Chain A
């Protein structure tokens, strides 16, 4: 079995911060693979190393069977990237952006046909000759998706593809990404901190926290591995000693003002749990989400951090002792 991406103890260290810690993942050809984690978890750093923009501190990786350290040019030729922040030139038209990309990536054969084809994939043919400044956020993302695909890459990296988009546009982008996998034979690697996005799109996800993979599997397996349903109890002073004694509870996590339990047959046991936990404000029973999976493995919830700046800013934030 050949892998589209295979990392071997891939590590990146910034002074005292270990951004990516001995990462070992194998990504299969043709799958949508998600790197899920909070801001600052090391997702973008991983992507930058795999796309040869950053040199790893130690370890290595192969992308499309090319070594990222010794064969960076071959790696670049065989991948497409859509960056987290808009990277199309807003003074140029959509078509011109694609034309430049085609020239830079050596798309020689039927260049104009290929541009027209990718424009069709993302429904931008009619707006191709408009200046990108006039595009909406969603259209710009679509243009960048098209650009990422222009040179027939075998692996496409999408860094937070729907960051900052409204829910409706996000839904559209997801549909485009799903269609791409069907029509283009391409492996897609997505970084995201949106649970729904990972759940909806990815065949497999790696949950990353503080530069390490804490869990890796398909979203449904990850959820079913939790074993049962989730009961969330809003309470400030839970009686945890009592709760811990119950053998049908497979995990207990405490957050600031809630206790989150993973329970087999929650509906039958709810009565007993409620009687033992003490004073509660509210109770919620649900099937597990990726959020619960994340909480289970990391002990904290994925948070939407206020700052959504670039990678280095986030590293700086982390350094300030966050």
Chain B
């Protein structure tokens, strides 16, 4: 009972912050749109991949990128929370750490999901046609991806003391996760020494699953995508809960 209200409180806070920081939401959509319109449009005029226009081909990849960046950053943001002491106030509340983690994780995932939905709408303008069923499937993938990556961000954030390490995380984790995921190219084209990274990159399975659902051009069976992504999300949520439990 008390835990449920605490969970609601943490989520309520995230939604309030999300709706108030409109500039953050808008700016988080600018980069993906630039990728699709400028990069995809420019290259797409000359190239088509897997039977679709390049601009359309990268759309599920850029959709994943939107979720990747906003989710990891959301998680990392608790470094800031810790700094301004707001988080102390949460930690001292009579709530279990599992609840605190769940509140943060769900709040962040929904933020990312809303941004992802913005991208889905943009897909319609691009001329990507999807059925309701496909959109529902895509939402499941987006939610799993967001939950896993918000948890990843929270794990890193809860073990970090200052914001100085942000750039390091972006360069060595977030960008590689994006580039190796096959967001911008079919993964079959990679030399096999790079393919290893792609196989290890959990975002790959999100991109592939979304591509299958939205464009019908997946390279892996959708159940494998779903299983790997689901497993990754479960592990991240587990490790995240554990990190929160040992947070001071």
Contacts and interface: CB of A to CB of B under 8 A. Distances in A.
Nearest to A75: B94
B85 interface: yes
Interface stretch (B13-21, B27-35, B58-66, B137-145): B13-21
Contact of B94 (A89, A100, A105, A131): A105
A90 B20 CA distance: 11
Main secondary structure of the interface of A (DSSP, over half): loop
A88 B86 contact: yes
Say what secondary structure dominates the interface of chain B: helix
B92 interface: yes
A196 B95 CA distance: 37
A103 B9 contact: yes
Interface in A81-106: 81, 83-92, 96, 99-101, 103-106
Size class of the contact patch on chain B: 20 to 34
B84 A87 contact: yes
A112 to B, nearest CB: 14
A53 B248 contact: yes
Given A104-B93, A104-B95, A105-B94, A87 B9 contact: no
Best-buried of B8, B9, B16, B92 by chain A (most CB within 10 Å): B92
Given A103-B12, A105-B94, A85 B85 contact: yes
A52 interface: yes
Contacts of A91: 16-17, 20-21
Interface residues of A, number: 29
B84 A104 contact: no
A254 interface: no
Nearest to A51: B92
A76 interface: yes
Contacts of A52: 92
A77 interface: yes
Contact of A106 (B2, B16, B17, B85): B2
Contact of B5 (A54, A81, A92, A106): A106
A73 interface: yes
B88 interface: yes
Contacts of B21: 91
Interface string A107-129: 01000000000000000000000
20 contacts: A51-B92, A52-B92, A53-B88, A53-B248, A81-B92, A88-B86, A89-B17, A91-B16, A91-B17, A91-B20, A91-B21, A96-B16, A99-B9, A103-B5, A103-B8, A104-B93, A105-B93, A106-B2, A106-B5, A106-B6
Given A87-B86, A100-B13, 7 more contacts: A84-B85, A85-B85, A87-B88, A91-B17, A101-B89, A104-B95, A106-B5
